[in-house]
Protein backbone atom coordinates (compact mmCIF):
# COMPACT_ATOMS: atom_id res chain seq x y z
CA UNK A 1 0.00 0.00 0.00
CA UNK A 2 2.88 2.37 0.79
CA UNK A 3 4.09 2.04 -2.80
CA UNK A 4 0.75 3.30 -4.11
CA UNK A 5 0.72 6.27 -1.72
CA UNK A 6 4.36 7.18 -2.22
CA UNK A 7 4.61 6.69 -5.98
CA UNK A 8 4.47 10.39 -6.81
CA UNK A 9 4.80 11.81 -3.31
CA UNK A 10 7.53 14.34 -2.52
CA UNK A 11 10.32 13.48 -0.08
CA UNK A 12 8.53 15.23 2.82
CA UNK A 13 5.57 12.88 2.39
CA UNK A 14 7.85 9.84 2.05
CA UNK A 15 9.42 10.80 5.38
CA UNK A 16 6.03 11.02 7.12
CA UNK A 17 4.73 7.79 5.59
CA UNK A 18 7.86 5.79 6.38
CA UNK A 19 9.18 7.23 9.62
CA UNK A 20 6.41 8.59 11.80
CA UNK A 21 3.52 7.23 13.86
CA UNK A 22 1.22 9.28 11.63
CA UNK A 23 2.44 7.27 8.64
CA UNK A 24 1.16 4.09 10.26
CA UNK A 25 -2.20 5.78 10.88
CA UNK A 26 -2.46 6.96 7.24
CA UNK A 27 -1.52 3.52 5.93
CA UNK A 28 -3.94 1.80 8.31
CA UNK A 29 -6.71 4.10 7.17
CA UNK A 30 -6.07 3.33 3.50
CA UNK A 31 -5.83 -0.38 4.18
CA UNK A 32 -9.15 -0.33 6.01
CA UNK A 33 -10.79 1.75 3.26
CA UNK A 34 -9.93 -0.95 0.69
CA UNK A 35 -10.42 -3.97 2.98
CA UNK A 36 -13.65 -4.98 1.26
CA UNK A 37 -12.54 -3.91 -2.21
CA UNK A 38 -12.57 -0.67 -4.12
CA UNK A 39 -16.31 0.00 -4.22
CA UNK A 40 -16.39 2.30 -1.17
CA UNK A 41 -13.37 4.41 -2.13
CA UNK A 42 -14.72 4.64 -5.69
CA UNK A 43 -18.04 5.93 -4.35
CA UNK A 44 -16.17 8.50 -2.22
CA UNK A 45 -14.22 9.64 -5.28
CA UNK A 46 -17.40 10.02 -7.33
CA UNK A 47 -19.05 12.05 -4.55
CA UNK A 48 -15.99 14.26 -4.11
CA UNK A 49 -15.57 14.95 -7.82
CA UNK A 50 -19.23 15.07 -8.85
CA UNK A 51 -21.69 17.94 -8.82
CA UNK A 52 -22.50 19.48 -5.47
CA UNK A 53 -26.02 19.98 -4.11
CA UNK A 54 -25.05 23.57 -3.34
CA UNK A 55 -23.15 26.11 -5.40
CA UNK A 56 -19.93 27.10 -3.61
CA UNK A 57 -20.89 30.79 -3.96
CA UNK A 58 -23.81 30.10 -1.59
CA UNK A 59 -21.52 29.02 1.25
CA UNK A 60 -21.63 31.87 3.74
CA UNK A 61 -19.42 30.66 6.58
CA UNK A 62 -15.68 31.35 6.57
CA UNK A 63 -13.66 28.52 5.07
CA UNK A 64 -9.91 28.07 5.36
CA UNK A 65 -8.01 25.84 2.97
CA UNK A 66 -4.54 24.59 3.89
CA UNK A 67 -2.39 23.24 1.09
CA UNK A 68 1.25 22.20 0.80
CA UNK A 69 2.94 23.57 -2.30
CA UNK A 70 4.53 20.14 -2.90
CA UNK A 71 1.21 18.22 -2.67
CA UNK A 72 1.25 15.59 -5.42
CA UNK A 73 -2.06 14.02 -4.33
CA UNK A 74 -4.46 16.97 -4.67
CA UNK A 75 -3.53 19.73 -7.12
CA UNK A 76 -3.29 23.13 -5.46
CA UNK A 77 -5.48 24.46 -8.27
CA UNK A 78 -8.42 22.67 -6.64
CA UNK A 79 -8.00 24.67 -3.44
CA UNK A 80 -7.41 27.88 -5.40
CA UNK A 81 -10.55 27.33 -7.50
CA UNK A 82 -12.72 26.63 -4.45
CA UNK A 83 -11.24 29.60 -2.65
CA UNK A 84 -12.20 31.80 -5.61
CA UNK A 85 -15.77 30.44 -5.64
CA UNK A 86 -16.51 30.61 -1.90
CA UNK A 87 -17.09 34.21 -0.75
CA UNK A 88 -15.42 34.02 2.67
CA UNK A 89 -12.67 31.54 1.86
CA UNK A 90 -8.95 31.89 2.39
CA UNK A 91 -6.04 29.72 1.31
CA UNK A 92 -2.89 29.10 3.35
CA UNK A 93 -0.19 27.62 1.16
CA UNK A 94 2.69 26.13 3.12
CA UNK A 95 6.00 25.97 1.28
CA UNK A 96 7.89 22.72 1.36
CA UNK A 97 4.95 20.61 2.53
CA UNK A 98 3.06 17.82 0.84
CA UNK A 99 -0.29 16.12 1.25
CA UNK A 100 0.67 14.06 4.30
CA UNK A 101 3.38 16.22 5.85
CA UNK A 102 1.27 19.38 6.11
CA UNK A 103 -1.35 18.14 8.61
CA UNK A 104 1.26 16.28 10.66
CA UNK A 105 3.79 19.10 10.92
CA UNK A 106 1.30 21.97 11.17
CA UNK A 107 -1.56 20.45 13.18
CA UNK A 108 -1.21 22.93 16.05
CA UNK A 109 -1.21 25.93 13.70
CA UNK A 110 -4.21 24.58 11.77
CA UNK A 111 -6.25 23.70 14.85
CA UNK A 112 -5.27 27.01 16.44
CA UNK A 113 -7.22 28.86 13.76
CA UNK A 114 -10.49 27.11 14.60
CA UNK A 115 -13.06 29.03 16.62
Q: pLDDT digits over 4-28, tens only?
A: 565 678 999 989 988 889 988 988 8
Give the count of domains, the chain: 1
Given a cut of 70, whether residue 112 has pLDDT beyond it is: yes
> What's the pTM?
0.82
Model confidence at 2, in pLDDT bands (50, 70, 90)?
low
Name the residue range of residue 19's domain. 2-112
Cβ contacts of 71 within 8 Å, gap of 6 or more: 97, 98, 99, 102
State the distance between the two ends of the chain, measured CA to CA, in whole angstroms.
36
Amino acid sequence: MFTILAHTAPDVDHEILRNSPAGEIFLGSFTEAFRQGGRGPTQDLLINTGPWDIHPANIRIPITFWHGDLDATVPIAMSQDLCNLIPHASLHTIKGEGHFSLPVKHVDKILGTLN
